[in-house]
């Protein structure tokens, strides 16, 4: 009996030690992306000081909000740090915690899939060694441990190893940041040339995930957002994703449930789904991607509702220290560290 107990203890200790070693290895390999981030939105989060306005969420926010209009209205630099809806919600929340500072204003037009679905997309897992390394790196240690144990594969480790020892990695990232800043200086990635449907035959409401019960992950996120407001001295505003299509909302049940959830946690919601809804002529390649004309209308409505919110601070622009100017100055420093190789 004593031998069995010792064997079981040894197995547990060995397994736990192996898990710790795996996390340490994955941290070390993916850490190659920490000195120079993958893209410009994370770079802007790192270099632009507070107070600032940060827009986060999925690609609907990359297409459906005009950051320059918000900056001109409220007089604070604005960063569109939104990425896409394949980023797990917990990762989004932890990155918000990592970069939030007192005085910041955070606008979150979460896609509906965050409210109704809680899977771990394979696209996210595959890209944690490089494109999404900052999300993985923002997790607390125990969450990273669980992620590696449950999701990381040999493919992830081999990819991370290859990138860790790629001599041009930092230089490539710096060049990518420079290119993106020239085209999209606020972090967004608007592109009206994408007017080609990728959702033909797919029902809008089903694609959006705009119906159903709120998953536990979103309830936990609401509690985390309350903590961020109370402890970090930021203001958080929930709004609704910009969409274009027909039959995208069969009822207002999910919107009302979400509004109640955030109200219970002291987080303000602004506007209504109708403020962010447009007819199919404004759709680009998916229901979540609206064109620039719709984005301007939606942003005007968002500015109006923010300014009317009872807890929105009194801010008036224009700013003398814009996102574009600060981004340019910071990138000049980065580019000097990693100049292109002459051929």
Q: Is the dihedral of CA 147, 150, 154, 156 positive or negative?
A: negative
Q: Cα angle at 114 between 110 and 118, to 5 degrees?
A: 165
pLDDT under 50 in the chain at which residues?
5, 7-10, 13-14
Beta bridge partners of 207: none
Beta bridge partners of 237: 107, 268
pLDDT for position 278: 97
**Length of the chain in residues, anyone?**
343
Distance of CA 2 to the CA centre of its chain: 51
pLDDT for position 230: 92
DSSP string, 187-255: S----TT--S-S-TT--HHHHHT-SSPPPHHHHHHHHHHHHHHHHH--EEEE----EESSS--S-SHHH
Burial category of 240 from C-beta neighbours within 10 Å (exposed 0-12, middle 13-18, buried 19 and up): buried
291 CB-near residues (< 8 Å, 6+ apart) = 63, 192, 195, 244, 282, 283, 284
pLDDT for position 34: 64
pLDDT for position 128: 86
The 10s digit of each residue's pLDDT in 65-108 is: 999 999 999 999 999 999 888 899 998 999 999 899 999 999 99
107 CB-near residues (< 8 Å, 6+ apart) = 53, 54, 55, 56, 65, 237, 239, 302, 306
pLDDT for position 19: 59
Burial category of 102 from C-beta neighbours within 10 Å (exposed 0-12, middle 13-18, buried 19 and up): exposed
Q: Report CA-CA distances (Å) from 196 to 191, 278, 286.
A: 11, 17, 8
The 10s digit of each residue's pLDDT in 35-51 is: 788 889 999 999 999 99
Beta bridge partners of 268: 237
């Amino acid at each position: 009996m004593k031998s069995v107990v010792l064997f079981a203890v040894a197995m547990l200790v060995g397994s736990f030690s192996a898990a710790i070693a795996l996390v340490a290895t994955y941290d070390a390999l993916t850490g190659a992306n920490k000195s120079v981030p993958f893209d410009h939105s994370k770079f802007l989060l790192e270099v632009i000081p507070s107070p600032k306005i940060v827009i986060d969420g999925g690609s609907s926010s990359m297409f459906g909000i005009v950051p320059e209009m918000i900056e001109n209205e409220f007089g604070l630099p604005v960063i569109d740090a939104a990425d896409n809806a394949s980023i797990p919600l917990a990762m989004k929340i932890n990155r918000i915690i990592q970069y939030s500072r007192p005085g910041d204003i955070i606008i979150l037009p979460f896609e509906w899939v965050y409210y109704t679905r809680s899977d771990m997309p394979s696209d996210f897992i595959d890209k944690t060694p490089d494109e999404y390394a900052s999300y993985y790196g923002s997790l607390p240690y125990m969450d990273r441990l669980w992620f590696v144990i449950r999701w990381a594969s040999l493919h992830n480790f081999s990819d991370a190893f290859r990138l860790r020892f790629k001599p041009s990695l930092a230089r490539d990232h710096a060049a990518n940041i420079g290119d993106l800043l020239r085209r999209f200086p606020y972090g967004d990635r608007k592109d009206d040339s994408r007017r080609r449907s990728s959702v033909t035959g797919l029902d809008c409401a089903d694609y959006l995930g705009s119906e159903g019960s709120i998953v536990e992950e979103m309830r936990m996120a609401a509690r985390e957002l309350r903590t961020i407001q109370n402890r970090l001295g930021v203001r958080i505003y929930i709004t609704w994703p910009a969409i274009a299509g027909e039959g995208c909302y069969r009822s207002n049940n999910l919107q009302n449930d979400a509004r109640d959830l955030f109200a219970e946690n002291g987080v303000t919601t602004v506007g209504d789904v109708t403020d962010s809804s447009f007819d199919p002529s404004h759709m680009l390649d998916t229901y979540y991607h609206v064109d620039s004309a719709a984005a301007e209308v939606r942003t005007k409505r968002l500015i109006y509702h923010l300014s009317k919110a009872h807890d929105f601070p009194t801010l008036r622009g224009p700013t003398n220290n814009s996102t574009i100017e600060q981004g340019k100055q910071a990138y000049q420093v980065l580019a000097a560290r990693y100049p292109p190789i002459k051929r």
